[in-house]
Amino acid sequence: MNNIIHYDKYNYFCYIGVFQDKDYEAESLFLDTQTAIMLERFYYNPHRLESAVNAAITDFLLETIDKDRIPGFAMQEACWDRALGAINLPQLKRMELAINDICTWDREKIINHSQSNGIAFSDFVFREKVSFTKSIIPHLKSNPMLIGSYALILKIHLMNYKKSRTDKFKLFREFVDFVNYRVGIFHAVEFSIAVHYFLGNSTQHDIVQGLLKFGSKDPLGAILTSCWDLFFLRLLQLQYMKNDWGIKQPKLVTRDDALIELAQYSSIHGLIEINETPMPIVSFDYKDLDSNTLSFLEDVHNEIRRAAIIRNVTDSEDIEKKYERITDVARELEEELIGIVKQGV
């Protein structure tokens, strides 16, 4: 039985946990960006929502009225303005007002609001639509925790152009070398994505395709969205084990089909200390891989563990320098990917 995924009775919101073999009652709920956006729409214009959507959001608010809803990261992603290169403050004000107010409502207020014409917001909010993004680096400064994921997903996008004409083991070796020696970081979720896409079957391939959106006309924008999805999944797994910020028994609330699919392959089963930092032990379902591929992966995992041990012993970089180094790598990969896209390769 898969206890990672549970949908509400409307099959609208999905609650993602962290264990394959057991469920738990959530005390805290991370809201992903789409969830936060739907709560904002419900606040200002409930009458304009489809009746089924209105009912699902109303039920969500009623069922989670005693939960700790955590929307901060979702609002950060939703309100980052690529045209400005900064947070769109009027948009943030509008969203914060809506979500913070909703969190104070009792059951009667929630029900009455669902049947109303919403709450007026008089301030004008303008946001210029950006169709092509030249760099995501400014955005990453607003959440430095995205930088490692961004570099790895950039690399996967670049490798995708060689997928049809390169031996899969040779191609995956390129990714492993990039992880070990170019960026010097290991993100288990991103690693699993690379396994599924370059070494997995057609079903796993399609899941990654949906998550990473290869072939987008705005590739950097698509990669940023993917990185945020993976960030929410990593945040959930890490905070369940660390219990930071007063967050207890968290689950992630989302409507993102690709993220939901990916979460079904990922679970945690322990915690280890790396440089005095608690890190969850994340496992992935590789049951559909053939024996030759599994043997190859076992050797790769051993190599990654050895490289990580060496880094822990010899790495003298502080966090700021490591961020700058990985940022430089990401900037180079951005330029390479944009060059390929412009050439139409």
Three-state helix/strand/coil letters over the chain: CCCCEEECCCCCCEEECCCCCCCCCCCEEEECHHHHHHHHHHHHCHHHCCHHHHHHHHHHHHHCCCCEEECHHHHHHHHEECCCCEECHHHHHHHHHHHHHHCCCCHHHHHHHHCCCCCCCCCCCCCCCCCCCCCCHHHHCCCHHHHHHHHHHHHHHHHHCCHHHCCHHHHHHHHHHHHHHHHCCCCHHHHHHHHHHHHCCHHHHHHHHHHHCCCCCCHHHHHHHHHHHHHHHHHHHHHHHHCCCCCCCEEEEECCHHHHHHHCCEEEEEEEEECCEEEEEEEECCCCCCHHHHHHHHHHHHHHHHHHHHHHHHCCCCHHHHHHHHHHHHHHHHHHHHHHHHHCC
pLDDT band at 142 (very low <50, low <70, confident <90, very high): confident
User: What integer is the mean pLDDT of 169-183?
Assistant: 93
The share of the chain scoring above pLDDT 90, in percent, equals 54
Q: What is the pLDDT of residue 112?
A: 98
- The answer on pLDDT for 66 being more than 70 is yes
Alpha carbon distance 156, 117 (integer Å): 46
pLDDT band at 345 (very low <50, low <70, confident <90, very high): low
pLDDT band at 284 (very low <50, low <70, confident <90, very high): low
Q: What is the pLDDT of residue 83?
A: 87
Residue 107 in tokens: 């059951």
CA end-to-end distance (rounded Å), the chain: 44
Which is more confident, 103 or 138?
103
Which is more confident, 270 or 219?
219
User: What integer is the mean pLDDT of 231-258?
Assistant: 86
Residue 170 in tokens: 């040779």
The share of the chain scoring above pLDDT 70, in percent, equals 91
Query: Facing residues of 273 across strands?
Result: 278
User: What integer is the mean pLDDT of 72-89?
Assistant: 91
What pTM did the predictor assign? 0.87
- The answer on pLDDT for 317 being more than 80 is no
**What is the average pLDDT score of the chain?**
88
- The answer on pLDDT for 1 being more than 50 is no
Q: What is the pLDDT of residue 277?
A: 57
User: What integer is the mean pLDDT of 306-324?
Assistant: 77
User: What integer is the mean pLDDT of 75-90?
Assistant: 91
Alpha carbon distance 265, 283 (integer Å): 8
User: 5-14, 226-235, 253-262, 297-306 — which one is most confidently predicted on average?
Assistant: 5-14
Q: What is the pLDDT of residue 93?
A: 95
- The answer on pLDDT for 263 being more than 90 is no
